[in-house]
Amino acid sequence: MIGSFLAGLLAGSIHAGTPLLYATLGEAVEERAGIINLGLEGVMLMGAVVGFITTVQTGSAAVGVLAAALAGGLFNMIFGFLVITRRANQLASGLALMFCGVGLSALLGASYIGSRIHGLNEIRIPFLSGLPVIGPTFFNYDILVYLVVPISVFIWWVFFRTRWGLSLRAVGENPTAAFAAGKNPHRLQYQALFIAGILGGIAGAHLSLALAKTWAEWMTAGRGFIAVALVIFSKWHPLRAIAGALLFGGAISLQLQLQARGVPVSSFLLDMLPYILSLAVLAAWGGRRRHAAPASLGRVFQGTE
């Protein structure tokens, strides 16, 4: 009884947590470079809609995911132009990007609402998914779920074990020093934004191609903002982001599972659960989060002219 509840809970949290994790990783990459992007929601929506449209047109969800990644990356380049080249305020530009993404995705997706797609298939790993309890829980997902943890590890490795990652972090901490050391802060930031856009686009694609297998306006329903919070929550660290996304996805899944089990708590209160849980964790382990942020987050290198 308890076993099946936990299994269902875990499965639900992995499903709900995957788009959150992709989005959080993307935001972490750009924030490590010193840029805060409140418009991640818009990037995710562009990924979701382009992925959906491409899948409808080509019949292949794999092509859809690639298209979504590209769309997210390119959409984030608009943000990059605004905040890096034109030096616009990052918070305001991010919000503008979000609204733009909401509207543009709604416009593009309007004639595709109600379309049927096969979506991303679940991949059953031959022996492992047959295992009694853990089989269906851990080994019965689409490819994006399987890839998200390796991608997190890869991003951790890039941040902390490669030159490029070091340069990126340097730009986020002190772009002037990085420039003096011979790096090109603007170029690095553009690169970071492109990667972040790709990850955000994939997050959106997972929603529309795997989890819900449909397109609806603003279907991210605030997940982009949750990702921005999760980045802070996980102290800008890709591996801790896994825990954060799983926790939040788990809370979403938990409140719905509790309702399905008939727990005598109001659905309104249960709906608050993910947010209360996040607040509780922050209160318990808040500590030195403020000092964990990249020192130059929110500021863009002005150049030498």
Partner 1 sequence: MRIKISSIELKLLAILASLALVLGISLPEANAQPKLKVGILHIGSVTDAGYNQAHAEGAQVMKKNLPNVEVISVENVPEGADAERVMENMAKQGAKLIIPASFGYLDPALKVAKKYPDVKFVHPGGYKRAPNLGTYWASTPEAFYLMGIAAGRTTKTNKMGYVVALPISFFLGNINAFHLGVQSVNPKAETRVVFTGTFLDPGKEATAANALLDQGVDVLGVIVDSPITVVQAAEKRGAYSIGYHYIGAQKFAPKGWISGIAFTWGELYTRFAMQVMDGTWKSEALLGNLASDYLTIAPFSSAVPADAVKLVNAAKQDFISGKKHVFAGPIKDNKGVERVKAGEVWPLENLGKMGWLVEGVIGQPN
Q: Candidates 11-19, 59-67, 123-131, 168-176: pick the segment binding partner 1 (CB under 8 A).
A: 11-19
Query: Using CA atoms, how far apart are residues 196 and 190, in angstroms rounded to an integer?
Result: 10
Binding partner 1 (rule: CB under 8 A), the pick from 123, 131, 153, 221 is 221
Rounded to the nearest 10 degrees, the angle between the axes of helix 223-233 and helix 185-205 is 120
**Beta carbons of 265 and 258 less than 8 angstroms apart:** yes
In the complex, the smallest distance separating the C-beta of residue 219 from partner 1, rounded to whole angstroms, is 5
Check residue 211 for interaction with partner 1 (CB under 8 A): yes
Q: Which residues contact 65 (CB under 8 A, 6 or more apart)?
A: 51, 120, 144, 202, 205, 209
Site map for partner 1, 93-132, x if CB under 8 A? -------------x---xxxxx-x----------------
Kindly give, in sequence order, each residue whose CB lies less than 8 Å from that of residue 263, ignoring residues fewer than 6 positions away. 270
Identified binder of partner 1 from the candidate list 43, 71, 219, 227, rule CB under 8 A:
219
Q: What is the number of other CB atoms lying within 10 angstroms of the CB of residue 208?
A: 34
Indicate the residue among 131 and 265 with the shorter CB distance to partner 1. Answer: 265
Longest Cα–Cα distance of the chain, Å, equals: 67
Amino acid at 205: A
18 binds partner 1 per the rule CB under 8 A: no
For partner 1, the closer CB: 134 or 221: 221
Residue 99: Cβ within 10 Å count: 12
- How many whole angstroms separate alpha carbon 133 and alpha carbon 149? 21
Site for partner 1 in 53-92 (CB under 8 A): none
Closest distance of CB 115 from partner 1, Å: 8
Residue 241 contacts partner 1 per CB under 8 A? no
Q: Residues in contact with partner 1, total (CB under 8 A)?
A: 40
User: In whole angstroms, how close is the CB of 148 to partner 1 at the nearest point?
Assistant: 16
Contact status: 268 vs partner 1 (CB under 8 A): yes
Q: Are 191 and 51 in contact (CB under 8 A)?
A: no
For partner 1, the binding residues (CB under 8 A) are 4, 8, 11-12, 15-16, 19, 106, 110-114, 116, 207-208, 211-214, 216-217, 219-221, 223, 252-253, 256-257, 259-262, 264-268, 271
